[in-house]
């Protein structure tokens, strides 16, 4: 099939490359010329394992191309995927749908014939209906444009796999729609291999996405709230999580207690969900998400506080923060718990040295005043306290004996509960973790 992908950020670039990988002919478009130039040259502008190979392979096959020209997009295909960003609005919890609206305004007046736009962006419920009205008002006579919603559930770090082999495909359509036939063709390979394909109305599809993310955020904050109690009561949150996780109704995934969630999705999506529920008059329904957000933020403060307690104040003290990305296998530092901790410690007067295998460039743009070391060893040199803030495999594999020779004092906070306590303590380290007394 021929299709276009509008917006080539994280979601769009991945979707475009993966649709070509499935055998479709794909044209990606973005208003950001430099992004398009990079993608057309086979360079992925962010870190995502496996994506560069998929991009290169499909550029070479001729099935994938990129442009900044909306007229080309209008002429190229009748099926379009919309994957532009919906960031948090300044001064509000709500999502900003300016870019989504701008796509409709730029594309629809150029279209001829019958078109379907599949929205993939995470949007406030009701957006698809509004976009349909907007498109109806803008399209040429004799042209039809249908808006359908096909939310994206990909995780950073697993984006290629999640796009090619999704857990489920969700499609929201209006009454009398023909979009589900088209979507079945687009996702034929996945559907034939047994991936559940759920067709529903537009509001439900929009709500599925934010509900999924709200649930995941709640699960993480649940265990982090229990973690706070464990710290005081002398319990061990990791053992507790193992024990409750064996109950299939609960499950162990996303019960990783530690510094909490960050990134471009979970924090923004729970806030936008609360804001939208309030706008719709369901004021009470999602107030618990405020608590989910607060619990999450408190974990960052706790690590800063713990550092103060351990060192008897952080002013002038040398602290190494391992990790800057919001999670491993990503160079994304948006709302990163690791960078928030490093930043807070630095602002409190500590001499903070940071190392991350992939996110240093992005981190330096957000927080230029931190000291970014060239290697993990260089970062650890002379540290009076080490904080493991993002659980990269490289950090999990660190040899406590070797690290012990680099630092000034063998003290470490395991902010993600991933280190082998016996090995580190055996090598003479004093250890602290969230939700456990070590
Ligand atoms: C998330 C959703 O998982 C995905 O389906 C959606 O499309 C986009 O948002 P992503 O932001 O890539 O994906 O990250 P995810 O892997 O979900 O992790 C989110 C955050 O939660 C990270 O900061 C991670 O470190 C943290 N986390 C995750 C925990 O603190 N504990 C856990 O047990 C799991």
Name all residues whose Cβ lies below 6 A of ligand 1.
Answer: 152-156, 213, 216, 220, 254-256, 258, 260-263, 265-266, 326-327
- For domain 2-195, the CATH architecture is 3-Layer(aba) Sandwich (3.40)
- Give the residue extent of every domain in the chain: 2-195, 235-438
Q: Whose CA is nearest to atom 2 of ligand 1?
A: 155
- Which mutation among 10, 123, 256, 265 tests ligand 1's pocket best, with the greatest number of atoms within 8 A of CB? 265
Architecture of the 235-438 domain: 3-Layer(aba) Sandwich (3.40)
Q: Please give the span between the terminal C-alpha atoms of the chain, in angstroms, as a whole number.
A: 57
Q: How far is Cα 45 from Cα 40, in angstroms, rounded to an integer?
A: 11
Index of the ligand 1 atom closest to the CA of residue 264: 11
Q: 178 — phi, psi (to 5°)?
A: -115, 10
Residue 317: what pLDDT?
Answer: 98
Q: What is the mean pLDDT, run by run of 10 residues, along the chain of 438 residues?
A: 97 98 98 97 97 98 98 98 96 96 98 98 97 98 98 96 97 96 98 98 98 98 98 97 98 98 97 97 96 98 98 98 97 98 98 98 96 98 98 98 98 98 98 96
Report the pLDDT value the prediction gives residue 283, as an integer from 0 to 100: 86
Pick the residue whose CA is nearest to atom 27 on ligand 1.
261
- What number does the ligand 1 atom closest to the CA of 122 have? 7
The whole-number pLDDT of residue 44 equals: 97
Among 270, 273, 422, 263, CA closest to 328: 263
265 annotated active-site: yes
Any idea what the Cα angle at residue 259 is, between residues 253 and 265, rounded to 5°? 70
Q: What is the pLDDT of residue 141?
A: 97
Report the pLDDT value the prediction gives residue 115, as an integer from 0 to 100. Answer: 98
Dig out the tokens for 251 from the structure.
Answer: 């499950």
CB 348 within 8 A of CB 288: no
Biggest alpha carbon–alpha carbon distance for the chain: 77
Tokens representing 120 are: 């993939």
């Amino acid at each position: 099939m021929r299709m276009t992908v509008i917006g080539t950020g994280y979601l769009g670039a991945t979707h475009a490359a993966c649709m070509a990988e499935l055998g479709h002919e794909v044209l990606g478009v973005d208003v950001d010329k430099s992004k398009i130039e990079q993608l057309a040259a086979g360079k992925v502008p962010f870190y995502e394992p496996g994506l560069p190979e998929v991009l290169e392979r499909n550029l070479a096959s001729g099935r994938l191309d990129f442009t900044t020209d909306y007229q080309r997009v209008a002429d190229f295909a009748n099926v379009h995927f919309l994957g532009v960003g919906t960031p948090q609005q300044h001064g509000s919890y709500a999502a900003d749908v300016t870019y989504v609206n701008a796509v409709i305004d730029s594309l629809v007046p150029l279209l001829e014939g019958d078109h379907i736009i599949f929205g993939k962006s995470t949007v406030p419920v009701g957006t698809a209906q509004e976009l349909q009205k907007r498109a109806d008002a803008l399209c040429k006579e004799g042209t039809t444009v249908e808006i359908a919603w096909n939310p994206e559930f990909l995780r950073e770090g697993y984006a290629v796999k999640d796009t090619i082999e999704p857990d489920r495909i969700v499609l929201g359509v209006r009454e009398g729609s023909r979009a589900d036939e088209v979507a079945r063709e687009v996702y034929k390979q996945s559907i034939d291999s047994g991936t559940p394909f759920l067709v529903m109305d537009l509001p439900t599809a929009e709500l599925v996405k934010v509900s999924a993310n709200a649930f995941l955020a709640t699960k993480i904050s649940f265990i982090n709230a229990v973690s706070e109690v464990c710290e005081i009561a002398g319990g061990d949150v990791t053992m507790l999580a193992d024990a409750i996780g064996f109950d299939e109704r609960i499950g162990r995934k996303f019960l990783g207690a530690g510094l909490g969630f960050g990134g471009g999705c979970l924090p923004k999506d729970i806030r936008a969900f609360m804001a939208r529920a309030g706008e719709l008059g369901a004021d009470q329904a999602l107030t618990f998400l405020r608590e989910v957000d607060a619990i999450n933020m408190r974990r960052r403060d706790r690590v800063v506080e713990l550092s103060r307690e351990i060192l008897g104040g952080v002013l002038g003290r040398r602290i190494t923060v391992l990790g800057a990305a919001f999670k491993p296998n990503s160079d994304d530092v948006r709302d990163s718990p690791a960078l928030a901790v490093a930043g807070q410690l630095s602002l409190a007067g500590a001499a903070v040295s940071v190392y991350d295998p992939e996110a240093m460039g992005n981190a330096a743009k957000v927080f230029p005043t931190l000291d970014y070391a060239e290697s993990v060893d260089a970062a650890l040199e002379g540290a009076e306290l080490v904080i493991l803030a993002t659980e990269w495999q490289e950090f999990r594999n660190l040899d406590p004996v070797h690290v012990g020779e680099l630092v000034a004092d063998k003290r470490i906070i395991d902010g993600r509960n991933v280190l082998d306590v016996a090995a580190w303590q055996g090598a003479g380290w004093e250890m602290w973790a969230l939700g456990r007394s070590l």
